Amino acid sequence: MKAVNITQFIARWQDLGLGDTANVAWHVTEASENLVRALLARLGPGYRLQGEVAVHETARVEPGAVIKGPVIIGPDCFVATGAYLRGGVYLGSHCIIGPSCELKSSFMLNGSKLAHFNFVGDSLLGENVNIEAGAVIANYRNELNGTSISLLYNQSVIETGVSKFGALVGDGTKIGANAVVAPGALLRPGTIVPRLGLIDQLVRV
């Protein structure tokens, strides 16, 4: 499983300081609540803390956004009315979560954006990822009745052992409007997913 090196997709992943236990993407998302709590315990100055929700003083959260901790919203982020953050969420700096977006058990690094009407579940998004309106990163294979997610990487099949995992999305990836990224996707840095596109890397055995 360690053959999928997060830093090959997200160059500055190690800057979060989560340690060697956070090197497998689906383990990170599965443990996202505890990992965000660990980051909450050592936040730098400039954050306002309410319960398990930390919002940087330069960030803007509009009325009507629903935020269920543990959540960290970094410097100069914007979270719009109707956004829903839950299940352990980390936003780096200059991230945008648009109206009616849901972000669950996920990490978004600096400069990444969800436009509006997006769902992103159990995923790691690198820096400067842009997801246009209506695009979805799904986290559960409904058609497989909860079977654990497997994926193909470097001609090898990897069994994740988890039933919920969305995607590992490399730096600079762009996902077009109304595209669907199926569970268990690995998107290399700079990937472009066309509008109405489907990325499905299901391993069929």
Distance between CA atoms of 92 and 115, rounded to whole angstroms? 16
Q: How far is CA 177 from CA 37, 141, 142, in A?
A: 33, 21, 22
Reply yes or no on whether 116 is catalytic. yes
Can you list the alpha helix ranges (DSSP code H) found in 31-132?
A: 32-40
Which residue in 27, 56, 94, 116 is the catalytic one? 116
Rg value, the chain, Cα: 16
d(CA 151, CA 4): 11
What separation, in Å, do the N-terminal and C-terminal C-alpha atoms of the chain show? 19
Count of CA atoms in the C-beta half-sphere (13 A) of 169: 35
Amino acid code (one letter) for 93: S
Residue 137: phi and psi, rounded to 5, are -110, 105
3-state SS of the chain: helix, strand, coil percent to 5? 15, 35, 50
Q: How many residues does the chain have?
A: 205
Considering only CA atoms, which of 38, 37, 54, 56 is closest in space to residue 46?
56
Q: Which residues are catalytic?
A: 116
